[in-house]
Amino acid sequence: MTKFIILGFLMTENMTGYDIKQKMSISTSNFMDASFGSIYPSLKKLEQKKLICFDEIVENGKLKKVYYITEQGKEEFMTWLRAPIETSKTSAASALSKIFFFDNLSNEEIISSINTYIEAITILKNNLLSIKKLLNNHDNNFEICTLNFGLDFYEFSIDWYKNYLDKRLNVKNS
């Protein structure tokens, strides 16, 4: 997936690895978060496959690689983009696989685990709200749409887990 995010960014502008990381942190982080440790190996693989190239420039006395997409890279990106959207069971799989076996835990452990998870989701949701404020006048409706999906998903998740605690375990959450 990192491969296609990078190709998509390079469809609109040439970027350094640092630029790509910064753009990901304010745009795709709600569904795809990548570290420099995954971005740079992806860039190297994309270059080896001749999907991207780079120019070396000196900026403020520092040598930088500015990546750009090749025609072959554009074709591969567009083929991926036009392919049917895949369904995935992985987005909530980790949490649900634990809940599936919660009968092995005490109520106190279940409550603690879910409350900790709710707190973590709330932090993620608040991060997206901060990003949304930064993008208030952004003109790319599809980027805003995916951000709103993340917000709606986190809100649904928070409500679902609170309802689970309330109904299954008779725990009131605020």
Cα separation, 88 vs 82, whole angstroms: 18
pTM for this prediction = 0.68
The answer on 131 and 73 residing in a single domain is: no
Structural domain includes residue 174: no
What pLDDT score was predicted for residue 102?
84
What single DSSP character describes residue 51? S
Asked whether residue 106 falls in the same domain as residue 142, the answer is yes
- Give residue 97's pLDDT: 66
Helices (H) and strands (E) in the chain, counts: 7, 2
Range of the domain at 139: 93-169
| Same domain, residue pair 75 and 108 | no
104 lies in the same domain as 156: yes
User: What pLDDT is recorded for position 173?
Assistant: 58
Q: Are residues 106 and 141 in the same domain?
A: yes
**Last residue within a domain, chosen from 26, 57, 82:** 82
32 CB-near residues (< 8 Å, 6+ apart): 1, 2, 5, 24
Same domain, 52 and 103: no
Task: Find, among 109, 123, 122, the residue nearest to 169 by Cα.
Answer: 109
**Does 107 lie in the same domain as 39?**
no
Q: Report the number of distinct structural domains present in the chain.
A: 2
For 13-158, list the strands marked E by DSSP. Answer: 52-59, 62-69
Walk along the chain (174 residues) and give the pLDDT tens digit of each residue: 889 989 999 999 999 999 999 988 887 876 777 788 889 999 999 999 999 999 999 999 999 999 999 999 999 999 998 887 665 555 676 687 678 778 888 888 889 889 999 998 999 899 999 988 887 776 678 888 888 999 999 999 999 999 999 887 776 555
Number of other CB atoms surrounding residue 131 within 10 Å: 18
